Chain A
Amino acid sequence: MNKFLGNKTAILLFILPALLLYTVMVFYPIVQTFFRSMYEWDGLSEGTFIWFDNYTRLFQDSLFFTSLKNGLIFAVIITVTQIGIGSILAFAVADAKFKGRKILRISFFIPVVLSITVVCQLWLSIYNGEYGLINKIFEAIGLEYKQDWLTSSKSAIIAIAFVNAWQYMGYHFALLLAGVKSVPEQYMEAARIDGATKLQAILKINIPMMAETYKFCLVFAITGGLNAFANMYIMTSGGPGTSTYTLTYLMYRSAFRVGEFGYGSAAAAILVIECLIATLIINRLIARERISY
């Protein structure tokens, strides 16, 4: 078996194309980012090597901490809602005898198919303080409660996170559905014969069997949240003021609006390290033994 699964030629043949392409097109630019984070550099001219000065500055910049905090809030919100609601939807729709299952499945995925620009524009209209839907509903039921959803520095990041959570729910739904479908039927039958309720079966059998699926859903949601950029770029441009900055936004502002590419690269480097730590923690937490059949 070891010989069978340790076939050197096969391993090289399988991994080399992906590794090569990835190293050249993705990893090499990342290395450049780390390298440039030690330069005072505007992105075009010759830079000056300044060791870790950018990092020292970063750790004294209140904007950096705002960005860091917003990234974490964003990641937590989208992880909880996407995986939570995504699981409910996936388990509900997994049943082959469920009527209307196809329509539901297609519907849940529609927001993902649309471009992020469309979805952000829609939610901008919904949240709008003057013309928005939410405030109109409050008005209609007679509440004089007008909330500045995107324009209060406290609620803006949460409001934006929910837009992302809602739009990309479909990804998690689809991945979890594929995960549910991969759990062999006989386990569920066995649970049913033992008299387990549906919830018990899901908790005791489905979810543990889907540990690998949950693992990548978690990594996907958390790193996606820490990386967040497009939503705030379209919806608030980081505002009001700086209250919806994330590390990516900080990088973008430093590099392109301020012309401090080196400083922006340092923010990006921290982001990569942050994501790496999050991934390692997830792997540690869900390090289960493979269920033997």
Chain B
Amino acid sequence: MKKLAIAAMSFCMVFLAACGSAGNNEAVNDKAANEGNKETATNAAQEETKPEEDAKPVKLRIYAQYADDDTKLPYDYAVAELKKEMPNVELELEVQAQDDGQKLKTYAATGNLPDIFQAGLDIITTFKKSGNILELDSYVDELGFKDKMFPSTMNTLVADDGHTYAFPYAGNEFVLLYYNKELFEQNNVKVPTTYDELMTAVTTFNAAGITPMSIFAKEKWPTVALFDMFVTRNEPQGILKLDKGQASVSDPAYKEAADKIIELVKAGMLPKGATNLNYDQAAALFHQGKAAMFLNGQWEIAESTKQLGDKAGWMYFPGKDAANYEASKYAFSGGGGPGGYAVNPDTKDKDLTAKVAAFLSLKYAEYKYTERANPLVSTKVDKAIVTEYPPMMKQLSDDIAKITSTTSFAWGLSDAKFKAAIEDASQSLMTGAYSAEQFIEDVSKAVPAAK
């Protein structure tokens, strides 16, 4: 029965798409009905297969990031493309608030969830339990979304439980340690390959009045990333292993990482008041040649190239010794996870909404790939690149095949309690007034039991 329905639906869709428009006989702008009458809405959605639709205009509410060029331009592009593809669909955008999902969760609690929303792992996990997110498996098959994915980015489409809850656009991204080649040369500092050389760099730069490494530790995730990079020298899975409950934070790999960070921070590796620097402040130190190194994701490549040109580069993270450096050279920090455009299960026309969500994801990724010099998207793009890759990005894309392991960004951790604890504790590490023992104690309370 279900299969038949799906077949009927896809038939409708193909048919209507051919006519250049698809739609729903009820405009979705009546929010009162959407909020108050969940059941009616669901029933209506189930009756969608009735072939009486005649491409009436449809309004869909969407909750998405829309603040800077990196989120605005791809979104605008995706919407413009949608207008060509499905002119009857109008999107009503609500700008995502930077509030740890408070707004979206309140929407879910009041039955006022937008038809499409950007969901990360945190939202997927919570909404899955409460039935506020549509399982998209059938649409993935129907729309052939899997064929559009890279084998390496399947993890962004399929969640741990084997289902799909959001159409992804972001691929697996990485943390990189950037450095200013000129500053290293001028001060006769060797680009560090071992911890000892890193320590030498820290002391030399400090003596020269240059901040060794800039980090925007007011946001907690970069501090987790730094910790994770040290961990990956011994344990390629990094914090991911703790998140899965397969390791203990008192294991040597983690303890050594904490010890090393404390030692370096005490030696003056970070700028004054690092835990209160935001991106603009920390990046300015690096871009203006006041800091020799800088920690950020690979998306920083564009900005650093713009500011520093050839002077900017990124290095492989130093190892414990030369052998460890070589062995863990391609153990990268960072990664990706399920996330992207998700669909409200109570939306009036599930098929249409899912189709729109999938379309937006593809176009969003396409723009990032062609115009924003970001090859790390989750889906294949068959269009030519408009913006040439800067050298640092070329180096990274050459390396991608060689990468032996990745971990996860803080926001990609699946255990919310562990995530909060490791964020707080890693930030504390940056103050230098926090012991490894304290770190272990605070984090181990939150490490989940093995699954």
Are A237 and B220 closer than 8 Å at their CB atoms?
A: yes
The answer for the CA separation of A12 and B218 in the assembled complex, in Å, is 53
Are B272 and A241 closer than 8 Å at their CB atoms?
A: no
Interface: A285 (CB within 8 A): no
| Chain B residue nearest in CB terms to A135 | B272
Are A43 and B105 closer than 8 Å at their CB atoms?
A: yes
Extra contacts besides A128-B276, A236-B218 (5): CB < 8 Å: A129-B272, A148-B431, A236-B275, A239-B427, A257-B100
- Name the B residues within 8 Å of A213 (CB-CB): none
Interface string of B127-144 (1 = CB under 8 A from A): 101111000000000000
- Name the B residues within 8 Å of A148 (CB-CB): 272-273, 276, 431
Interface: A238 (CB within 8 A): yes
| Chain A residues within 8 Å of chain B by Cβ, number | 35
| Chain A residue nearest in CB terms to B105 | A43
Q: Which of A42, A45, A130, A238 contacts B272 (CB 8 A)?
A: A130
Interface residues of B in 98-154 (CB under 8 A from A): 99-102, 105, 108-109, 122, 125-127, 129-132
The answer for the CA separation of A131 and B277 in the assembled complex, in Å, is 10
Binding site for B on A (CB under 8 A): 42-45, 124, 127-132, 135, 146, 148-153, 235-243, 252-253, 256-260
CB-based closest 6 A-B pairs: A129-B273, A241-B428, A129-B272, A44-B130, A45-B130, A240-B275
Interface: B9 (CB within 8 A): no
Interface: B261 (CB within 8 A): no
- Name the B residues within 8 Å of A243 (CB-CB): 428
Are B417 and A242 closer than 8 Å at their CB atoms?
A: no
Smallest CB–CB gap between A193 and chain B, Å? 57
Are B273 and A151 closer than 8 Å at their CB atoms?
A: yes
Q: Which of A44, A153, A253 contacts B127 (CB 8 A)?
A: A44
Query: 16 A–B contact pairs at CB < 8 A?
Result: A128-B277, A129-B273, A129-B276, A130-B271, A146-B272, A148-B273, A237-B218, A240-B427, A241-B431, A242-B424, A243-B428, A252-B100, A256-B99, A256-B100, A257-B100, A258-B419
Are A253 and B420 closer than 8 Å at their CB atoms?
A: yes
| Chain A residue nearest in CB terms to B417 | A258
| Chain B residue nearest in CB terms to A42 | B126
Are B273 and A257 closer than 8 Å at their CB atoms?
A: no
The answer for the CA separation of A153 and B442 in the assembled complex, in Å, is 15
Are A128 and B273 closer than 8 Å at their CB atoms?
A: yes
- Name the A residues within 8 Å of B101 (CB-CB): 256
The answer for the CA separation of A152 and B432 in the assembled complex, in Å, is 9
- Name the B residues within 8 Å of A236 (CB-CB): 218, 275-276
The answer for the CA separation of A238 and B220 in the assembled complex, in Å, is 11
Are A130 and B109 closer than 8 Å at their CB atoms?
A: no
| Chain A residue nearest in CB terms to B446 | A258
- Name the A residues within 8 Å of B105 (CB-CB): 43-44, 256
- Name the B residues within 8 Å of A129 (CB-CB): 271-273, 276
Q: Which of A127, A240, A260 contacts B428 (CB 8 A)?
A: A240
Are B285 and A240 closer than 8 Å at their CB atoms?
A: no
Are A42 and B130 closer than 8 Å at their CB atoms?
A: yes
Are A241 and B100 closer than 8 Å at their CB atoms?
A: no
Smallest CB–CB gap between A56 and chain B, Å? 15
Are A153 and B431 closer than 8 Å at their CB atoms?
A: yes
Q: Which of A45, A127, A153 contacts B129 (CB 8 A)?
A: A45
Interface: B19 (CB within 8 A): no
- Name the A residues within 8 Å of B126 (CB-CB): 42-44, 259
Are A240 and B102 closer than 8 Å at their CB atoms?
A: no
Interface: B425 (CB within 8 A): yes
Interface: B430 (CB within 8 A): yes
Of B275, B430, B442, most A-chain CB atoms within 10 Å: B275
Q: Which of B129, B275, B417, B424 contacts A151 (CB 8 A)?
A: B275
The answer for the CA separation of A128 and B424 in the assembled complex, in Å, is 20
The answer for the CA separation of A130 and B277 in the assembled complex, in Å, is 9
- Name the A residues within 8 Å of B100 (CB-CB): 252, 256-257
Smallest CB–CB gap between A76 and chain B, Å? 24
Are B416 and A150 closer than 8 Å at their CB atoms?
A: no
- Name the B residues within 8 Å of A44 (CB-CB): 105, 108-109, 126-127, 129-130, 132
The answer for the CA separation of A43 and B108 in the assembled complex, in Å, is 9
Smallest CB–CB gap between A204 and chain B, Å? 47
Are B424 and A258 closer than 8 Å at their CB atoms?
A: no
Interface: B434 (CB within 8 A): yes
Q: A43-B109, A240-B427, A240-B430 are in contact. Are A258 and B416 (CB under 8 A)?
A: yes
| Chain A residue nearest in CB terms to B272 | A129
Q: A42-B130, A129-B271, A240-B431 are in contact. Are A258 and B420 (CB under 8 A)?
A: yes
Smallest CB–CB gap between B88 and chain A, Å? 33
The answer for the CA separation of A242 and B272 in the assembled complex, in Å, is 19
The answer for the CA separation of A257 and B419 in the assembled complex, in Å, is 9
Smallest CB–CB gap between A53 and chain B, Å? 15
Interface string of B338-374 (1 = CB under 8 A from A): 0000000000000000000000000000000000000
Smallest CB–CB gap between B439 and chain A, Å? 9
- Name the A residues within 8 Å of B427 (CB-CB): 239-241
Smallest CB–CB gap between A44 and chain B, Å? 3
Are A152 and B433 closer than 8 Å at their CB atoms?
A: yes
Of B219, B271, B417, B424, most A-chain CB atoms within 10 Å: B424
- Name the B residues within 8 Å of A151 (CB-CB): 272-276, 431
The answer for the CA separation of A42 and B433 in the assembled complex, in Å, is 34
| Chain B residue nearest in CB terms to A253 | B420
Interface string of B73-114 (1 = CB under 8 A from A): 000000000000000000000000001111001001100000
The answer for the CA separation of A257 and B410 in the assembled complex, in Å, is 12
- Name the A residues within 8 Å of B420 (CB-CB): 253, 257-258
Smallest CB–CB gap between A121 and chain B, Å? 10
Q: A44-B108, A127-B276 are in contact. Are A241 and B424 (CB under 8 A)?
A: yes
Interface: B281 (CB within 8 A): yes
- Name the A residues within 8 Å of B108 (CB-CB): 44
- Name the A residues within 8 Å of B271 (CB-CB): 129-130
Smallest CB–CB gap between A42 and chain B, Å? 6
Smallest CB–CB gap between A70 and chain B, Å? 14
- Name the A residues within 8 Å of B217 (CB-CB): 240
The answer for the CA separation of A132 and B271 in the assembled complex, in Å, is 13
| Chain A residue nearest in CB terms to B274 | A151
Are A150 and B428 closer than 8 Å at their CB atoms?
A: no
- Name the B residues within 8 Å of A124 (CB-CB): 276
The answer for the CA separation of A135 and B271 in the assembled complex, in Å, is 14
Of B102, B274, B431, most A-chain CB atoms within 10 Å: B431
The answer for the CA separation of A106 and B420 in the assembled complex, in Å, is 43
| Chain A residue nearest in CB terms to B219 | A237
Smallest CB–CB gap between A131 and chain B, Å? 7
- Name the A residues within 8 Å of B419 (CB-CB): 257-258
- Name the B residues within 8 Å of A240 (CB-CB): 217, 275-276, 427-428, 430-431
The answer for the CA separation of A271 and B108 in the assembled complex, in Å, is 26
